[in-house]
Amino acid sequence: MKQKADIFQGADSLQNISISMIRTIMDKSKAMADAGIPIVPFVAGEPDFNTPQSVKDAVIRSIRQNDTHYTSNRGYLPLRKAIAQRMHEETGLCYDAETEIVVTSSGAEAINNALISILNPGDEIIVFSPAFVNYENVAKIVGAKVVLIPLNKDNGFQIDVEAVRAAITLRTKLVVINSPCNPTGILYTEETLAKLSALICENNLIAFSDEIYSRLVYGECSFRSLASFPGMKERTLVMNGFSKSFAMTGWRLGYLCADRRMISNMMKVHQYSTTCSPTFIQVGLAEVMNSDVTRREVNEMVKIFSRRRDLVLKGLDQIPNLNYITPHGAFYVFVDVSATGLTGADFAARLLDEKYVAAVPGIGFAEHCTDFVRISYATSDELIVEGMKRLGDFAASL
């Protein structure tokens, strides 16, 4: 008997999943650039630096010595030990490399594995909005209910813990946090994190802490992991990786640190989606990720990002009708364009079509952020200067 259903419709769980607006604009701006149009790329969350030479050399050595076979599902043990060392240095937390760390093929896979291994259909997950699009969409695929808590510029996009308390129900299971935050660049204060962690413990919840930008913090600010607060290590899944601070976006390598009981469930997802990440990359990284020369290269990139942030903010300060909350981490500025009379979507569309500057509308991160655009300063000083000039010209034309 012939099926009556549309065989090309796909799974029901994917029908309310949206395509990332970031990728849509990246694809359009790349097509324009390929056609010879001089695009200023303020869209991608991708450093324009090359991967540290020490890492490339170590991985090439690993290939030549034939480290091209399977390694442990959990990841190459010396790399997990190197990650444990780095986590202890940066957060003060001790993770067992044997049982509490798993290497994933990207931070995106880590998000996917964590949420699938924790959430059941009908469970509630709290996400602070605006947010990176993966959290909400992976949760929807699982069948969980996403509870969005809007953040706004009036309090500097900080979390209102009382709003979190009001949102918690008997179905609440997981709270997602991303600090420093994509798209706002905001670093949540220690006071905010302390109150949030106490609330999570009080209600016996799990936390997922996306710390992919933890090394990209500027000025007098400092990063603190949510997992480092009292009672939080055993109930927090910490995700990090090498894409942003090591300029390794194309290498696709991330990791998760968590209580061994949560890691055990996560391994069931990881085994059947990835098996293991490329062995030669892991071997090379294990050799040099904590070396003095690699640390110097990474620290130099952070200094340059700090300078670029200041360059963007100086440029924005000279353009009327554009407002922002000063970012202290990552490499994004969330700009309020409402005073121009345009929505963020219209502003970004016209900016690209008329001035060839690519930025992401705030609505791509949250429905209530229609007044915003996200500018990424993960590009060269020269392009930032040119982009700020074009941005100023466009704003003046309005």
- What is the DSSP code string of 56-88? HHHHHHHHHTT--S---TT--HHHHHHHHHHHH
| Residue 4, pLDDT score | 62
| Residue 35 resides in a domain | yes
Picking from 290, 311, 338, the residue at the C-terminal end of a domain is 290
State what percent of residues in the chain have pLDDT above 70.
99
Q: Whole-angstrom Cα distance, residue 195 to residue 193?
A: 5
Q: Tell whether the model's pLDDT for residue 1 goes beyond 70.
A: no
Q: In this structure, what token pair is assigned to residue 346?
A: 């219209």
Model pLDDT for residues 202-247, shown as the tens digit of each residue: 999 999 999 999 999 999 899 999 999 999 999 999 999 999 999 9
Model pLDDT for residues 115-169, shown as the tens digit of each residue: 999 999 999 999 999 999 999 999 999 999 999 999 999 999 999 999 999 999 9
Residues 41 and 71 in one domain: no
pLDDT, mean of residues 331-336: 98
Cβ-based neighbours of 219, under 8 Å, separated by 6 or more: 306, 328
The answer to whether residues 290 and 85 touch, using CB atoms and an 8 Å cutoff, is yes
Question: Residue 335: which CATH number?
Answer: 3.90.1150.10
Residues 243 and 148 in one domain: yes
| Residue 4 resides in a domain | no
Picking from 274, 290, 306, the residue at the C-terminal end of a domain is 290
The range of the structural domain enclosing residue 46 comes to 12-50+294-397
Q: Tell whether the model's pLDDT for residue 17 goes beyond 90.
A: no
Q: What is the pTM of this model?
A: 0.94
| Residue 2 resides in a domain | no
| Residue 224 resides in a domain | yes
Going by their DSSP bridges, the two strands 332-336 and 124-129 should be labelled as unpaired
| Residue 302, pLDDT score | 96
Q: Map tokens 């605006």 to a residue.
A: 130
Question: Residue 89: which CATH number?
Answer: 3.40.640.10
Q: Whole-angstrom Cα distance, residue 41 to residue 334?
A: 15
Q: Structural domain tally of the chain?
A: 2
Q: 150: which strand partners? A: 129
What average pLDDT is seen over the chain? 95
Residues 121 and 138 in one domain: yes
Residues 375 and 321 in one domain: yes
Residues 239 and 267 in one domain: yes
